[in-house]
Structure 1
Amino acid sequence: MTAPDGAVFVGRFQPPHAAHVGSVVQALEHAPRVLVLLGSANLARSVRNPFRASERAAMFRAALRDQGFGSRRVTFRPLPDRFDAARWAGEVRARAAGVFGPAARLALLGFEKDASSAYLDWFPGWTRLRVPEVPGLHATDLRRAVFTGQPLPAHLPAPVADFLQAFLQTPAGVRLQAEWRAVEEARAGLPAGIRLQEERYLFLQDGRVCLNTRTGAIGRGLWELPGQVLPPGERSRTGADAVFDHPARALVAPTTAYVFLGPPPAGVPGQAVSLGTAVARPRRFFEDHHVILTRMLGLD
């Protein structure tokens, strides 16, 4: 088999851990360069995505150095989440072409741990570098340990552990600890396997868009499209102008958003924000609301 010109490693890496670092080290034995794409780079901090792309890249680089590997052969790039498989895969291919060239022979790096790894089949023509999974080591478990005060795994790369401990003392870290508790409480109050519905309103007037600033523990301070999540079992009214139902779009539970063009009903809070300002600040938005805004306006 012809050796690839480069390997591509796609993930959220929230945070990068020993299996991620080991995967890159193993890939460097088969490819001269590795491109690490840091997913969900356009989303606000949340308990699912607490760390910015620049922070994840810094942790990754430090962990590689700690293992005795320089990062000159490893390139890090942010990758936005579009909540659309075809758009997302297209952006992966575009970023890979930008780093390695459009004619490069590429390998996709990863292991198939669950259905979320289906993307490994979305890149025909690329070869695959399989890496072993480290049992019991998942970023979700790490985030739970971080935000609930549990001991961090002993095999977590030391630079990553140091960053996480320092992060908890920052305003963002304090806010996310409160958000973790609020998300867990909200989930505990829902029936098992429930799928919720929400109604949202997209209203433009005189170059300004109506947005609400969240005040609760979940997403505090972030913008959202005005509206509400409906009580369990309640269904949205008909006539929505768009529907967004990606399974990973909502923090608390799978939620389908029915979006209506026009002003929100009386009593639904919101304030006018410059559309230019809103479009330019994707990480100021709750969940996927910036994606909804730009998709419906044809700006993405």
Structure 2
Amino acid sequence: MSTNLQAYYDYLQKEKNYSSLTLRAYLDDIKSFQTYLLDNHDKHTLEEISYSQVRSWIVILVENGIANKSINRKISSLKSFYKFLLKIKQIEFNPLSKHKSLKVPKKVQIPFSEKELNSVLEMGFIENDFESIRNKLIIELFYATGIRRAELINLKVNHLDKYNKTLKVLGKRNKERIIPLLDCTIDLINRYNMERAALGNIQNPDVLILSKKGKILSETFVYRLINNYFSTISEKVKKSPHVLRHTFATHLLNNGADLNSVKELLGHASLSSTQIYTHSSLSELQKVYKDAHPRNK
């Protein structure tokens, strides 16, 4: 890793407090561009490029079928890197300062229905079986708290406050938030912890949700778990932890929660991020409108 790239890594880790997953994503994007430079512009380093080379890279990414959303993420990583180089006076101008993001079509996420959620949670999970109770708890936590997949994986045992019925969650950039827990969720956590205590060899004792071997879960495992369970009851194309997060927000809004409260529970920095969930509530809004408007009597 070059000196400037190492300095940037240290900056994101120590000053920005980015998570290991975010750090890896940023560096992978920058190294991907660096590889392109070596293959096509071997006389240029990261510090010596112009926007025309970035534009040529974008063209290649598009031709290779990379989605605009993914390309925008890669360019955002580069833009942040060059802002840093400008800040530490390693370059005289940011070659990406006037770059405009590629257009990304807005996709309306379809949440699970309350019936679908209840069907999964009422499946025949085996009592006194570690994996069965753990799997149910994972589904319950996603739906009851709206946490992200990485947030669930990194939950710690001491993040749970049974007395106050809350859960501490470390979100993006290690931003902390406190989420209230339902009694049914706490009951399930208690049942899970009884089975967890009986595991023979716990390799990550501070982590709350573990594999049967006592290890921290992988993101792929959690995704497949959600996909497998919901594939049995739902024909929706996408069945993922993020859809459960989307479902959490949509169901709260449909049942009267205000947007700002949902924003806080989700850990969004601004309301604009939360407002995407209001689109799924349009049918509910139309129903309320028709039932309430005097002209519809």
Relative to the length of structure 1, the TM-score reads 0.26
- More helix by proportion, 1 or 2? 2
Q: Which has the higher strand share?
A: 1
Please tell me whether Structure 1 or Structure 2 has the larger radius of gyration of its CA atoms: 2
TM-score between the two structures when normalised by the length of structure 2: 0.26
Higher relative contact order (CA closer than 8 Å, sequence separation 6+): 1
